């Protein structure tokens, strides 16, 4: 089994922003704002970009737009930030196609979500991810988010997949620290475990997790980077201090389905215009002051 020091395996660490996809009010992609966000994240200390995932509204962009968003991110971030591209889907053949496109435009890795809606068995999940990895020579991070996919990938399945060449890690959004503690104990050397749940990310990293693929980092990149580094390095006092500062924001950014609140927050900070694509709609007015006050509490407005 390759280790994290193997030069063939990219190692990601720290705050990896689950980057939003900026859109204009008519729903068209705003590539100028996208590039400016990438610049801002590089300046603020973000450790990597995860593009065209859940926060990037992957379900409502076309394949052509999806590939262009990866390509622009790779080219604009070159030499500054690594790019992990969302390449998942509930069709294995389509996920392979997206993986091929991501590799062709230079992504460092792909983020591959558990197939949604069709509810595969654990064996189906294993065969799905194995087939993608065998078809495309692109390092893959698995993504378990049962709150969205219904299917929940077990620790046993993750451990089986950790033996498949090319599968280098997992993003887990369950927030189940007891379960993740067992996973961290059992994974082979070099297999990277990332939080996908901002409220529990600090706890995971204090237990040995490698980083946080973060929604909150869209508005608090510097603070999230500092939190991740403190937790990874075992500085409990600083971790508690920074986590307390972000705790309200970590909760409030999910008052409606992600990325509705965080896109509103990024626009409120003056970083983008505000646009979504149906079936997502604008943040309900009743939550505006709540999100705004949470940004102020964290010192971001």
> Which of 180, 269, 221 has the alpha carbon at shortest distance from 18?
221
The DSSP bridge partners found for residue 109 are 84
Catalytic site residue 296?
no
Which of the residues 71, 143, 263, 276 is marked catalytic?
A: 143
Distance CA 160, CA 37 (A): 37
Q: Is 93 annotated as a binding residue?
A: no
Catalytic site residue 287?
no
Distance CA 56, CA 126 (A): 26
Strands 211-214 and 167-172: unpaired
Chain centroid to Cα 276, Å, comes to 19
Distance CA 269, CA 246 (A): 16
- Kindly write down the DSSP assignment for every residue of 153-211, as one continuous string: --HHHHHHHTTSTTEEEEEE-S--HHHHHHHHHHSPTT-EEEE--GGGHHHHHHTT--E
Which of the residues 71, 103, 171, 263 is marked catalytic?
A: 171
User: What secondary structure letter does DSSP report for 234?
Assistant: T
Which residues are CB-neighbours of 257 under 8 A, at least 6 positions away? 280
Q: Is 232 annotated as a binding residue?
A: no
Give the orientation angle of helix 92-104 with respect to helix 122-135, to 10 degrees. 30
Annotated binding-site ranges: 55, 213
Active-site positions read 143, 171
Annotated binding-site ranges for pyruvate: 55, 213
């Amino acid at each position: 089994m390759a280790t994290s020091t193997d030069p063939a395996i990219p190692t990601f660490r720290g705050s990896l922003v689950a980057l939003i996809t900026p859109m204009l009010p008519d729903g068209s992609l705003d590539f100028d704002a996208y590039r400016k966000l990438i610049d801002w994240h590089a300046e603020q200390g973000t450790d990597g970009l995860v593009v065209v995932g859940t926060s990037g509204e992957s379900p409502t962009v076309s394949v052509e737009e999806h590939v262009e968003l990866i390509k622009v991110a790779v080219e604009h971030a070159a030499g500054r930030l690594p790019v992990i591209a969302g390449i998942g889907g509930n069709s294995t053949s389509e996920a392979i196609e997206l993986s091929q496109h991501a590799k062709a435009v230079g992504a460092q890795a792909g983020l591959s979500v558990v197939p949604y809606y069709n509810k595969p068995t654990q064996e189906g999940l294993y065969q799905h991810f194995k087939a993608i990895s065998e078809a495309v020579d692109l390092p893959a991070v698995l993504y378990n988010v049962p709150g969205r996919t219904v299917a929940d990938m077990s620790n046993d399945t993750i451990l089986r997949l950790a033996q498949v060449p090319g599968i280098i890690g997992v993003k887990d959004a369950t927030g189940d620290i007891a379960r993740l503690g067992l996973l961290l104990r059992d994974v082979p050397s070099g297999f990277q475990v990332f939080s996908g749940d901002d409220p529990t990310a600090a706890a995971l990293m204090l237990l040995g997790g490698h980083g946080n693929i973060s929604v909150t980092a869209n508005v608090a990149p510097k603070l999230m980077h500092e939190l991740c580094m403190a937790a990874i390095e075992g500085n409990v006092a600083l971790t508690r201090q920074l986590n307390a500062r972000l705790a309200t924001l970590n909760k409030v950014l999910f008052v409606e389905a992600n990325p509705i609140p965080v896109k509103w927050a990024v626009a409120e900070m003056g970083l983008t215009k505000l646009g979504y694509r149906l079936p997502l709609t604008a943040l309900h007015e009743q939550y505006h002051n709540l999100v705004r006050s949470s940004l102020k509490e964290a010192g971001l407005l």
